[in-house]
Amino acid sequence: MEKKERHPDPFPGFGRVQRPTRYIGGEVGSIMKDPAKVNCRIALAFPDVYEIGMSHLGYSIVYHGFNSDRRVYAERVFAPWFDAEEEIRKANQKLSTLETGTPLSDFDIIGFTLSHELAATNVLNMLDLGGVPVLAGDRRDGDPIVIAGGCSAANPEPLSDFIDAFYLGDAEPVFSELADVLTEAREKKWPRNKIVEAIAYIGGMYVPSFFDPQYENGKFTGMLTRTQSFPTPTRRVAADLDNYPLPDKPVIPLAEAVHNRIAVEVARGCTRGCRFCEAGMYYRPVRERSPKNVIGYACAALDNTGHEELSLMALTTGDYTRLGETLRALVDECEERRVEISLPSMRFGTLEKSLASELARFRKTGFTLAPEAATDRLRRVINKVIDEEQMIAEVTALAGMGWKQFKLYFIIGLPTETEKDIKGIVELSKKIKSAAGKGAKVTASASTFVPKPFTPFQWEAMLPLDEIHRRQSFLRTELGGSGIKWKYHDARTSVVEGVLARGGRECGRLLLELHKRGAKFCAWTDYFNKEAWNESFAAAGIDLDKALGTKEVADPLPWDHIDMRIDRKFLESEREKAHRAEPTPDCRVGGCVDCGACDSSGTETRLAADAPALPERKSGQDISPQPETFSRYRITFRKFGKAIFLGHLELKSVFEKALRRTKLPLRFTRGFHPQMRLVFSPPLPVGIASEAELADVFLNEEVEPNKILDRLRAEVPEGLEITRVTEIQPQQSSLQQAITATTYSVDISQLEIPPAQLEKSIYNFEKLDEMPVMRKQDDRAPMDLKIFVQDISVASGQIKFSTDVVDGFMVRAALVLEHIFEFTDETFEKVLITKTGIEMENS
CATH number for position 286? 3.30.750.210
Do 414 and 461 lie in one domain? The reply is yes
Do 697 and 659 touch, CB atoms closer than 8 A?
yes
What is the rounded average pLDDT of the residues 676-686? 93
Specify the pLDDT at position 2: 39
Do 483 and 410 lie in one domain? The reply is yes
Return the H-helix or E-strand segment holding 705: helix 705-713
Specify the pLDDT at position 419: 97
Do 572 and 603 lie in one domain? The reply is no
Alpha-carbon Rg for the chain in angstroms: 30
Do 156 and 20 lie in one domain? The reply is yes
CA dihedral of residues 504, 506, 507, 513 (deg, nearest 10): 170
Do 448 and 577 lie in one domain? The reply is yes
Domain final residue, candidates 732, 759, 781: 732
| One-letter amino acid for residue 132 of the chain | V
CATH number for position 433? 3.30.750.200
Measured distance CA(592)–CA(595) in Å, rounded: 8
DSSP, residue by residue, 784-833: EGGGTEEEEEEETTEEEEEEE-BTTB---HHHHHHHHS---HHHHTT-EE
Q: How confident is the model at residue 743 (pLDDT cuts 50, 70, 90)?
A: very high
Neighbours of 469 (CB within 10 A): 14
Total domain count, the chain: 5
The reply to whether omega before 451 is within 30° of 0 (cis) is no
Q: Give pLDDT tens digits for 697-719.
A: 999 999 999 999 999 999 999 99
Q: How confident is the model at residue 403 (pLDDT cuts 50, 70, 90)?
A: confident
Domain final residue, candidates 225, 251, 266: 225
pLDDT at residue 348 tops 90: no
Residue 513 domain-assigned? no
Do 50 and 177 lie in one domain? The reply is yes
Q: Parallel, antiparallel, or unpaired for β 789-795 and 689-699?
A: unpaired
- For residues 74-113, one letter each, b for 16 or more C-beta atoms within 10 angstroms of the residue's C-beta and e for the rest, the string is bbbbbbbbeebbebbeeeebbbbbbbeebbbbbbbbbbbb
Q: Which of 3-12, 399-408, 618-627, 799-808 comes out lowest in average pLDDT?
A: 3-12
DSSP, residue by residue, 434-494: HHH-TT-EEEEEEEEP---TTSTTTTS----HHHHHHHHHHHHHHHTTTTEEEEE--HHHH
Residue 749 domain-assigned? yes
Do 796 and 664 lie in one domain? The reply is no
Residue 350 domain-assigned? no
- Could you give the strand order of the β-sheet that contains 441-448, starting from the edge strand earlier in sequence? 367-372, 405-412, 441-448, 484-488
Q: How confident is the model at residue 4 (pLDDT cuts 50, 70, 90)?
A: very low
The predicted model scores a pTM of: 0.93
Residue 480 domain-assigned? yes
Measured distance CA(153)–CA(170) in Å, rounded: 12
Residue 232 domain-assigned? no
Specify the pLDDT at position 617: 61
| One-letter amino acid for residue 574 of the chain | E
Do 385 and 289 lie in one domain? The reply is no
Collapsed DSSP state (helix, strand, coil) of residue 203 = coil
Residue 540 domain-assigned? no
Residue 351 domain-assigned? no
Q: Give pLDDT tens digits for 285-336.
A: 999 999 999 999 999 999 999 999 999 999 988 889 999 889 889 988 888 8
What is the rounded average pLDDT of the residues 95-116? 96
Q: How many CA atoms lie within 13 A of 520 on its CB side?
A: 21
- For residues 574-597, one letter each, b for 16 or more C-beta atoms within 10 angstroms of the residue's C-beta and e for the rest, the string is bbebbeeeebbebbeeeeebebbb
Q: CA 588 from chain center: how many Å?
A: 32
Residue 63 domain-assigned? yes
Measured distance CA(113)–CA(111) in Å, rounded: 7
Range of the domain at 693: 624-732
Percent of the chain clearing pLDDT 70 (strictly above): 96
Do 641 and 751 lie in one domain? The reply is no
Do 103 and 208 lie in one domain? The reply is yes
Give the mean pLDDT of the chain: 92
CATH number for position 799? 3.30.70
CATH number for position 649? 3.30.70.580
pLDDT at residue 1 tops 70: no
Do 832 and 688 lie in one domain? The reply is no
Do 374 and 293 lie in one domain? The reply is no
Q: How confident is the model at residue 826 (pLDDT cuts 50, 70, 90)?
A: confident
Specify the pLDDT at position 5: 44
- Output the CA–CA distances (angstroms, integers) from residue 278 to 47, 137, 274, 571, 645, in the order listed: 20, 30, 9, 12, 40
Q: Which residues pair with 205 in a beta bridge?
A: 167
pLDDT at residue 6 tops 50: no
Q: Considering Cα of 563, then 566, then 571, then 573, what sign does the dihedral take?
A: positive
Specify the pLDDT at position 463: 97
Measured distance CA(595)–CA(336) in Å, rounded: 44
Domain final residue, candidates 704, 732, 760: 732
